[in-house]
Amino acid sequence: MATIPWLVDVLRGAGVQVVVEGDWLNRMRSGSFDPIGVLWHHTAATSSATNPHPALNICINGRSDLPGPLCQALVDYHGVFHVISAGRCNHAGTSGGSGPIPVGDGNTLMIGWEIDYNGVDQRMTTAQYNASIAATAAVLKRLGRDSSYARGHRETSTTGKIDPSFIDLNTMRADVAAKMAGGGTGWTSIVDNATAGRFTASANWGTSTYSGQRYGADYRYADPVAASDAAWYKFNVPRTGNYRVEAWWPANAGYNAATPYIVATTTGNKTVTVDQRATGGQWRSLGTFTLPAGDANRVAVSRWSSAAGLVIADAVRLTEV
């Protein structure tokens, strides 16, 4: 049985914060372990800044129906990797095959990150996302595999697992690929309509909790109007460069079919129109744009739409590419 005693060094070398959890080199299940990829999970536990790793004990010690360790590393609320095992763990069950990962024993084939968030009404934190991308890129490089060897449990599961939820796995793989190619820094930032000091909208924009597809606690809405009354998202862009701009909206048949998003680039404002009646509850790319460094309003949702239906302003994410 192989082990991966290099894991801690590889993670630290990638700039990932690591906490070694006891005798990780000798804590493992018996059986084969010959990993070719990385599997992403969420724990289903609710983490917070003051309780950043509620599932850590279970991941180390297991549960009555499943002996530990349950993953090679747990990723806490702050993006710290708690390294639990250098060997085989009970995290993957049977692989039904996904991408280049074949059908077989998932615990042999893959190294597992348990990202500690509940996945029902809590999303992966930005810190968890960034650390997971950096760690996955470094480990795949060490394994001599490309980003397609990173999968989500819901892709390989044969028993209907849903984790990790609230994340587009193709986007996550693209970010791993960019990291492996040395492109960008993996810098990413989310501004929600509720993010303090970073979202501005006039009183004409109402606040709603109606759709379960919302990002965070609520979102803003307004009737379309042929006038300038945009809702703005302010970002502190670390350096002038190329950034993927993504938007999240809850979708509804009564929402706007042609919502203009405005991106303030180095060469002026660019407009991208989306259909907010569909593809809600997920990050949707508006494209890649060159943005100037500095802390300023970068992305807006405009009410100036020719279509009927409410214009929605929920969350926006930038990722350096």
Binding site residues, Zn ion, CB under 5 A? 41, 153, 163
Cα 217 from chain centroid (whole Å): 18
221 contacts 251 by C-beta, under 8 angstroms: no
d(CA 253, CA 277): 5
CB closer to Zn ion, 39 vs 321: 39
Cα 55 from chain centroid (whole Å): 19
Contacts of 178 (CB under 8 A, 6+ apart): 184, 186, 321
CB closer to Zn ion, 113 vs 249: 113
Q: How far is the CB of 297 from Zn ion (least distance, A)?
A: 39
CB closer to Zn ion, 115 vs 139: 115
Count, in order, helices (H) and strands (E) of the chain: 6, 22
d(CA 196, CA 191): 9
Structure tokens at 170: 């193709």
Q: How far is the CB of 153 from Zn ion (least distance, A)?
A: 3
CB closer to Zn ion, 163 vs 320: 163
CB closer to Zn ion, 21 vs 163: 163
CB closer to Zn ion, 56 vs 231: 56
Q: How far is the CB of 163 from Zn ion (least distance, A)?
A: 4
Q: How far is the CB of 89 from Zn ion (least distance, A)?
A: 11
CB closer to Zn ion, 153 vs 303: 153
Report helix, strand or coil for 265. Answer: strand
Q: How far is the CB of 15 from Zn ion (least distance, A)?
A: 26
Instruction: Work out the burial of residue 157: count CB atoms within 10 Å of its CB; fewer than 13 is exposed, 13-18 middle, 19 or more buried.
Output: buried
d(CA 303, CA 295): 24
d(CA 230, CA 232): 6
What count of other Cβ atoms lies within 10 Å of the Cβ of residue 159? 8
* Residue 15 Ramachandran class (φ > 0 left, ψ -120 to 50 alpha, else beta): left
Strand partners, 284: 247
Q: At what angle do helices 169-180 and 126-143 cross, to 10 degrees?
A: 60
Q: How far is the CB of 161 from Zn ion (least distance, A)?
A: 5
Q: Which residue has the tokens 């892709």?
A: 155
Bridging pattern class, strands 18-20 and 81-83: parallel
Q: How far is the CB of 271 from Zn ion (least distance, A)?
A: 40
CB closer to Zn ion, 154 vs 220: 154
Q: How far is the CB of 191 from Zn ion (least distance, A)?
A: 29
